[in-house]
Chain A
Amino acid sequence: MLILSRRKDESVIIDGRIEVSVVDIKGDQVKLGIKAPRDVKVYRNEVFMAMQAENRAAVSAPAELPELIIGDSDTSSKSRS
């Protein structure tokens, strides 16, 4: 892994088209600004990892599926957590 030191308001350029800058530093939190072409997808790593993990869990579905009854289900309001 390439490790670079940057100060606030400094940035790095990736592949000549993606700019990642340090916008703010507060305690252990760093705010990053990312300038990239529209076709470059940028996500928080947690989101990306959650998608991968969920797809891996989903792929082990049993071949025999349950039936879902659609329609007049209970429509009373419930609180969710």
Chain B
Amino acid sequence: MTVDTKAYGEVEVDERQRILLPSGLYGFEGLTDYILLDARQRPFYWLQSTQVREVAFVLMDPKLIRADYDADLDPQDLEELHLEGTGDSRFLQFSIVTIPEDRRGMTANLQGPVIINKDERIGRQCIARDDRWCVRHNILEEMASTGKDAC
């Protein structure tokens, strides 16, 4: 299928890159059909809406930001994605990245990870039950230090 992307214009993508988010993302509840693309810049990915070109989110693995990251997800969230736990081989988790004009200020949302079942290609934005995680963690600062508390 061909998708008009914000980052790369029209690209040909495999059906296997398609991810359905039945509840959408917070604030974007009406958009449920996305593709997951490797960004040209490591270690980022794009979660691009197939419906609206301008709606594309930058994602990255939260474990790169905090090796000890564990959202303590509600088991119900995992069940809805047919996942048996965070150790399930189909389990994928991403954080949505916010990039302001001054890129040193880029932050990751560790409180609202996007969880995906990669075989069924369904996902949802979950809310961490561990209150150490908030919506804005400065990525460069987190990666440069090994502290414990986050917010």
- Listed in ascending order, the chain A residues whose CB lies under 8 Å from chain B are 38-39, 41, 43, 47-48, 50-59, 61-68, 70, 73-80
Tell whether A75 pairs with B146 under 8 Å between CB atoms, given A61-B57, A61-B99: yes
Q: Is B96 an interface residue (CB 8 A)?
A: yes
**B139 to chain A: which residues have CB within 8 Å?**
68
**Chain B residue with minimal CB distance to A78?**
B145
| Complex alpha-carbon distance, A62 and B111, angstroms | 22
Q: Is B50 an interface residue (CB 8 A)?
A: no
User: Taking the nearest CB of chain B, how far is it from the CB of A14, in angstroms?
Assistant: 19
| Complex alpha-carbon distance, A78 and B138, angstroms | 14
Query: Chain A binding site: helix, strand, loop or mixed by DSSP?
Result: loop
**A52 to chain B: which residues have CB within 8 Å?**
26-27
**A47 to chain B: which residues have CB within 8 Å?**
111, 127
Count the A-B residue pairs with Cβ separation under 8 angstroms: how many? 109
**A50 to chain B: which residues have CB within 8 Å?**
111, 134-135
Q: Is B56 an interface residue (CB 8 A)?
A: yes
Q: Is the CB of B42 within 8 A of A78?
A: no
User: Taking the nearest CB of chain B, how far is it from the CB of A36, in angstroms?
Assistant: 11
**B86 to chain A: which residues have CB within 8 Å?**
none
User: Taking the nearest CB of chain A, how far is it from the CB of B124, in angstroms?
Assistant: 10
**A59 to chain B: which residues have CB within 8 Å?**
28, 54-57
Complex A-B: 21 CB contacts under 8 Å = A39-B80, A41-B127, A47-B111, A48-B26, A51-B109, A54-B96, A55-B96, A55-B125, A59-B56, A63-B6, A63-B8, A65-B40, A65-B44, A65-B58, A66-B103, A68-B41, A70-B143, A76-B145, A78-B145, A79-B147, A80-B145
